[in-house]
């Protein structure tokens, strides 16, 4: 299987030793899109997401290229981010509706949506990992 074949179908991450640096595609673009997970740099080439660490590359394919369809990428490849943001927004709106004039609501309006978003993110990530 060639590296370009990986772009066709989503799969688990593949570790590529840094010594095989020539595998790095010339047309891959450095990007900020995606979770770095401790990587020094990230690259994208079509649906390939490449993370560069000091001693290796980790490569996986996304179902949807976030540069082409950000919402599709969130839905199909990163639902935990979408659900976390939705939980935070929903919680923030509910607190804003109930506590419009109370000064302590400012802290609640910031803290609880962050907690809610984080819990939504973590819960969805665990479910996603379990199903994969």
Q: Does the pLDDT at position 5 exceed 60?
A: no
pLDDT band at 11 (very low <50, low <70, confident <90, very high): low
Bridge-based pairing of strands 48-52 and 41-45 is antiparallel
Mean pLDDT calculated for residue range 88-99: 86
* Spatial contact of 79 and 123, defined as CB atoms under 8 Å apart: no
Q: pLDDT confidence of 26, banded at 50, 70, 90?
A: confident
Query: Taking the model in full, what pTM does it have?
Result: 0.71
Least confident stretch, 3-17, 51-65, 118-132: 3-17
Span between the terminal Cα atoms of the chain, in Å: 22
């Amino acid at each position: 299987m060639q590296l370009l074949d990986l772009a066709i179908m989503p799969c688990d991450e593949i570790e590529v030793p840094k010594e095989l640096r020539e595998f790095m595609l010339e047309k891959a673009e450095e990007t900020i899109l995606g979770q770095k997970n401790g990587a020094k740099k990230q690259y994208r080439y079509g649906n390939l997401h490449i993370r560069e660490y000091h001693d290796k590359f980790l490569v996986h394919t996304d179902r949807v290229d976030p540069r082409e369809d950000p919402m599709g990428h969130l839905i199909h490849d990163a639902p935990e981010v979408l659900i976390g943001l939705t939980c935070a927004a929903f919680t923030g709106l509910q607190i804003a509706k109930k506590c419009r004039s109370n000064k302590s609501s400012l802290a609640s309006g910031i803290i609880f949506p962050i907690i809610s978003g984080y819990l939504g993110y973590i819960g969805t990530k665990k479910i996603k990992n379990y199903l994969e």
